[in-house]
Amino acid sequence: MAFVTTIIALIMRVVVQVPVLSILTSQVGTGLAAVACGLVGWVWGRRLLNPAYIIYGMIIVFMNLATVMYGSYGRRGIVAVGACLLWGMY
Q: Report yes or no on whether pTM surpasses 0.85.
A: yes
The mean of the pLDDT values for the chain is 93
Q: How far apart are CA 6 and CA 70, in angstroms?
A: 14
Q: How far apart are CA 74 and CA 18, in angstroms?
A: 23
Give the mean pLDDT of 16-43: 92
Q: How far apart are CA 84 and CA 42, in angstroms?
A: 10
Please state the separation of Cα 66 from the chain's center in Å.
9
What's residue 65's pLDDT?
A: 96
What's residue 72's pLDDT?
A: 83
pLDDT at 63 over 90: yes
